Structure 1
Amino acid sequence: MSEDQLEKGAVPNQDSGDEVKKDFKGLVGSVRKFLSELLEIRTNTDATATKESIIADITFKGHTSWILICSIFIASVGLNANSTAVVIGAMLISPLMGPILGMGMSLAINDIDTLRRSLKNFTVMVVLSVVTAFLFFYLFPLRDESSELLARTKPDIRDVLIAFFGGLALVIARAKKGTIASVIFGVAIATALMPPLCTVGFGLAIGKPLYAAGAMYLFTINTIFIGLATFLVIKFLRFPMVRYANSQRRRMIARLASITGILVMIPAGFTFYNVFQESLFRKQAQQFLDETIEVYQFNGAGRYVDNLTKIEYVDDGSSLIEVVCMGDELIPENVVNTWRTQKNQYSRLKNAELHVIQGGRDDSEEKFNFVSELYERNKADLLNKDEQIRLLEEEVAILTKNMGKQVPFKDVSAEARANYGNIERLGFSYQIQTDFKKLDTVPVFEVKWKQGIQNAQKEADIKKMQTWLKIRLRDSTIVVKEVE
């Protein structure tokens, strides 16, 4: 091929490469434009209407105060009865979200007056909610620690994420022209501001401040991250800042709002980091248990009770993993030491203590305490299954009763054949009988006599056999019947 032909062939190849680059740039531009139109929210935002609606929801007096009290009572009853549906209903009507949005928005637009009103109303709402819940649980006779209550005593990383993204969804929905009501209702359910405050009152009412502290911590997390999400969205949407006639006052308020916003973000970041670290610790601890203790094979009467496993995270390094094994079989010390060595292979478990509590080394009182603790931990689930428990108890009672009346039929039939030569066949069964007042299970022997036996002889032998069986089996309820 000549040089002219090579040069002529190179031109089309170069043009083809340029066309590919141009097509690629066009594709990237189209995707960028599509995503920009898909995710863009500023053009459809009504800043004035959003600000007015948030400020209108801050006010706490008259109707709003009574709505809050009613929602507190509903949530308290729902938590006490372990009813998720009732708790959801209380969250839907709760007005607690208003002041939180007000605080986040006022910090974002330097509105010191709105911030002051939001803080004042928020404080009154929280105090009134806790006092109302406290009085309810203190005066109400039924104060079981239901699973709905216990779920609000220890927050984790999921609660942080729910609060933050719930807050984002709420503010975005409020900022849209034509507010999306379903989103507001959904966020009210997801972020769950009301149940933690009810749990604070419950903890104080039953004298367990740790419950109250854990629930208040969860409520604080929800509040901070909803407020933080509001602050970020309002800033992103570029809501107009509040202007003040006095320029010096304007600068002072702007600095104050900025400092307050930073001060809110610091504990929010610290809380997120702390909860995230605890979540990672618990994940590794559970993985360690799955790979070691749960796969351990007991040779005899031993059992690992996973319900009593205690995983406690402390950020100063004194964390604890405590497992309980019941039964008389002891786990050898070298196995426990191997577990401790394996534990140190997990980066977040190196400084954690591993305690293995074994039933064979504990006296009966300590064993009883463990069983009692197991019952208390599962009592909330049991309360949800009263009907199933009642039916199971009836079945167990019947089985226990029947086991106590277990008949050695082989021996009895041999003795009956020896004592009564006219017997052709003997059967036994339990029959359920009722007089329409109560049910009873009766042991019944069925006898078939040989042909040619007179009726008087049959009746006499049946009566005699029934007396003998009652004495032989020590059961006065035995019945003997003749069958054809």
Structure 2
Amino acid sequence: MEENLNKDQNQEFPEGSGQDIKRDFRGLLEGVKVFLADLLDIRKNTDQEATKESIVADIPFKGHTSWILICSIFIASVGLNANSTAVVIGAMLISPLMGPILGMGLSLAINDIDTLRRSLKNFAVMVALSVITAFLFFYLFPLRDESSELLARTAPDIRDVLIAFFGGLALVIARAKKGTIASVIYGVAIATALMPPLCTVGFGLAIGNFGYASGAMYLFTINTIFIALATFLVIKLLRFPMVRYANSQRRRFIARMASIVAILVMIPAGFTFYDVFQESLFKKEAKQFVTNNIVPYELPGEGRYLENLTDIQYNHGEDGFIELVFMGNETIPDNVIATWNTQKNTYDKLKNVELKIVQGSKNQELDQMRYVSELYESKKAELLSKEQQIQVLKEEVGKMSKLVEHQIPFQEISAEAKTNYENLTGLGFSYTITTDFNKLDTIPVFNVQWKKGLPAQQVKTDSQKLTDWLRLRLKNSKIQVREEQN
């Protein structure tokens, strides 16, 4: 019986079955490896000589190319000024800026110092001509609105780095293929958007806003560096032949110089990626903090938080701030602000960031029309007709009028009070926030000081008269007067 059992087991698990499974598994892995290699390998269908010739041919900048660049700059500037995405895309398609950038990446990869020199020279001329043309357009053109298309090119983030790098990869791979894929080249020209940042630099210089100009130039620099870096990596991966020089000493010198320049390009690219990545993390945490802690807070009365006016500034990890704008006739309690600061400090990137609170009641000179404009912008998508637009604006102006009515004109009140009450030597004003744990209430409180030595009865009588006068004058029955004798 035991023999039969052993036979059955041997039949179910034949000797050597473990080795067969391992062998089959290795075969499966080899098959997957061969499949992926065949799927992803781009070396077999690469035309190295044609690729190099096409890139080098696009480097020169003179004659027709210079006029094409000038025309594309004008088109892009008009499109940015008119806030027209379609026009901007058209300008990007005809712009010849990509040629010298690919030339820099190629020359560094194959140690071609002559091509590198020509690429840098033509690139510098292209950038200078582009900025000057855009500057003249915006300086002389009477309409210089800060459109969303322009402002979008003043603050690069981590997505711009990724777009430039992967766009550069796609472009070089498409150029290297036998039979260049034109649609990829056009798509990369649109995605990486080299032309609009240069136009924005000219716009910033024309209106004297160097913050716009520097931000746009930073975006253009990011695009340039990472497109050139992607070109360098692809050319190295495809093992393009190195340029050989007859003089061995010169060959070694050129190789060293090309390597040094490549490293000098990669180092700032790495720092740029890290800095932009940190800024993206900072802004993400700042927006999370605002969404989770500020937006849910309900201000009493007509007060509201103007989310569209939130200003989040990142200053490379130092002196950054989050500015929150509130409108209303009642101030936010200090304990609420302290709680927000505590909550802010729970975010790693926000611990050293200043939380700025701008409140309408404490900043009477804050432009009220800014409030209406912000509110209208946030609601205009919901409006279907001009009548609705007018009605919304009327309602908001009415609310603003109520806010203004509740403002205490302290300077006028103090002057009138001094005229009416000769024994008055000092007057102070503040809001006191109280609660019965069901709702908050804001009480206007006047602190008064009377001449020293006045009889208590006279102080009491004058304080009551002052209270009645203030309530009548300001049309607010909640006003209280507190006595403080000298």
Q: Deviations over 1:339-372 (max 9, x none)?
A: 1111111111111111122212221x22438548
User: Which residues in structure 2 correspond to 1:13-52 (within 5 Å)?
Assistant: 13=13, 14-52=15-53
Task: Mark the CA change 1:397 to 1:307 in structure 2 (over 3 Å): closer, same or farther.
Answer: closer
Q: How far did residue 8 of structure 1 move?
A: 7.3
In structure 1, how many angstroms separate the alpha carbons of the residues matched to 2:327 and 2:216?
A: 32
User: Which residues in structure 2 correspond to 1:339-378 (within 5 Å)?
Assistant: 339-363=340-364, 365-368=365-368, 370-371=370-371, 374=374
Q: Deviations over 1:36-84 (max 9, x none)?
A: 1110000110000000000000011111011001000000000000000
In structure 1, how many angstroms separate the alpha carbons of the residues matched to 2:238 and 2:253?
A: 23
2:271 corresponds to = 270
User: What is the RMSD of the two structures over their aligned residues, measured on CA atoms?
Assistant: 2.4
2:217 corresponds to = 216
Could you tell me which amino acid in structure 2 is paired with residue 368 of structure 1?
Q
In structure 2, how many angstroms separate the alpha carbons of the residues matched to 1:9 and 1:181?
A: 64
1:478 corresponds to = none
The answer on 1:249 being equivalent to 2:250 is yes
The answer on 1:122 being equivalent to 2:116 is no
Secondary structure of the residue aligned to 1:283 is helix
Q: How far did residue 316 of structure 1 move?
A: 3.9
Could you tell me which amino acid in structure 2 is paired with residue 359 of structure 1?
G
Identity of aligned residues (%): 70
Q: How far did residue 15 of structure 1 move?
A: 3.2
Could you tell me which amino acid in structure 1 is paired with residue 199 of structure 2?
C
Q: Deviations over 1:85-142 (max 9, x none)?
A: 0000000000000000000000000000000000010000000000000111111111
In structure 2, how many angstroms separate the alpha carbons of the residues matched to 1:394 and 1:329?
A: 29
2:178 corresponds to = 177
The answer to whether the Cα contact below 8 Å between 1:325 and 1:358 also exists between their aligned partners in 2 is yes
Task: Mark the CA change 1:372 to 1:100 in structure 2 (over 3 Å): closer, same or farther.
Answer: farther
1:301 corresponds to = 302
Q: Deviations over 1:187-238 (max 9, x none)?
A: 0000000000000111111111111111001000000000000000000000
Secondary structure of the residue aligned to 1:315 is coil
Secondary structure of the residue aligned to 2:348 is coil
In structure 1, how many angstroms separate the alpha carbons of the residues matched to 2:275 and 2:389?
A: 49
In structure 2, how many angstroms separate the alpha carbons of the residues matched to 1:8 and 1:316?
A: 72
2:97 corresponds to = 96
Could you tell me which amino acid in structure 1 is paired with residue 43 of structure 2?
R
The answer to whether the Cα contact below 8 Å between 1:162 and 1:190 also exists between their aligned partners in 2 is yes
2:6 corresponds to = 6
In structure 1, how many angstroms separate the alpha carbons of the residues matched to 2:192 and 2:248?
A: 39
The answer to whether the Cα contact below 8 Å between 2:372 and 2:393 also exists between their aligned partners in 1 is no
The answer on 1:189 being equivalent to 2:227 is no
In structure 1, how many angstroms separate the alpha carbons of the residues matched to 2:393 and 2:329?
A: 28
1:392 corresponds to = 386
Task: Mark the CA change 1:293 to 1:227 in structure 2 (over 3 Å): closer, same or farther.
Answer: same
1:289 corresponds to = 290
Could you tell me which amino acid in structure 1 is paired with residue 6 of structure 2?
L
User: Which residues in structure 2 correspond to 1:141-156 (within 5 Å)?
Assistant: 141-156=142-157
1:433 corresponds to = none
In structure 1, how many angstroms separate the alpha carbons of the residues matched to 2:48 and 2:131?
A: 34
The answer on 1:315 being equivalent to 2:316 is yes
Select the structure of larger CA radius of gyration: 1
The answer to whether the Cα contact below 8 Å between 1:343 and 1:350 also exists between their aligned partners in 2 is yes
In structure 1, how many angstroms separate the alpha carbons of the residues matched to 2:184 and 2:133?
A: 28
Could you tell me which amino acid in structure 2 is paired with residue 170 of structure 1?
L
The runs of 5 or more residues in structure 2 that have no matched partner are 395-486
The answer to whether the Cα contact below 8 Å between 2:167 and 2:191 also exists between their aligned partners in 1 is yes
In structure 2, how many angstroms separate the alpha carbons of the residues matched to 1:11 and 1:394?
A: 85
In structure 2, how many angstroms separate the alpha carbons of the residues matched to 1:326 and 1:166?
A: 44
Q: Deviations over 1:302-348 (max 9, x none)?
A: 11101111111122432111111111132211111111111111111
Q: TM-score, normalized by length of structure 2?
A: 0.77
Secondary structure of the residue aligned to 1:165 is helix
Could you tell me which amino acid in structure 1 is paired with residue 386 of structure 2?
L
Q: Deviations over 1:9-50 (max 9, x none)?
A: 347524333332222222211111111111000011000000
1:471 corresponds to = none
Could you tell me which amino acid in structure 1 is paired with residue 215 of structure 2?
G
Secondary structure of the residue aligned to 1:317 is coil
Secondary structure of the residue aligned to 1:322 is strand
In structure 2, how many angstroms separate the alpha carbons of the residues matched to 1:297 and 1:29?
A: 63
In structure 2, how many angstroms separate the alpha carbons of the residues matched to 1:198 and 1:284?
A: 31
The answer to whether the Cα contact below 8 Å between 1:58 and 1:98 also exists between their aligned partners in 2 is yes
Could you tell me which amino acid in structure 1 is paired with residue 305 of structure 2?
Y
In structure 2, how many angstroms separate the alpha carbons of the residues matched to 1:201 and 1:34?
A: 50
In structure 1, how many angstroms separate the alpha carbons of the residues matched to 2:210 and 2:373?
A: 19
The answer to whether the Cα contact below 8 Å between 1:359 and 1:367 also exists between their aligned partners in 2 is no
Task: Mark the CA change 1:399 to 1:29 in structure 2 (over 3 Å): closer, same or farther.
Answer: closer
In structure 2, how many angstroms separate the alpha carbons of the residues matched to 1:203 and 1:393?
A: 37
Task: Mark the CA change 1:372 to 1:238 in structure 2 (over 3 Å): closer, same or farther.
Answer: farther
Q: Deviations over 1:237-262 (max 9, x none)?
A: 00000000000000000000000000
1:261 corresponds to = 262
1:427 corresponds to = none
In structure 1, how many angstroms separate the alpha carbons of the residues matched to 2:278 and 2:139?
A: 36
Choose 347-356 or 391-400, whichever is displaced more.
391-400
In structure 1, how many angstroms separate the alpha carbons of the residues matched to 2:372 and 2:91?
A: 33
Secondary structure of the residue aligned to 2:16 is helix
In structure 1, how many angstroms separate the alpha carbons of the residues matched to 2:354 and 2:158?
A: 23
In structure 1, how many angstroms separate the alpha carbons of the residues matched to 2:160 and 2:389?
A: 42
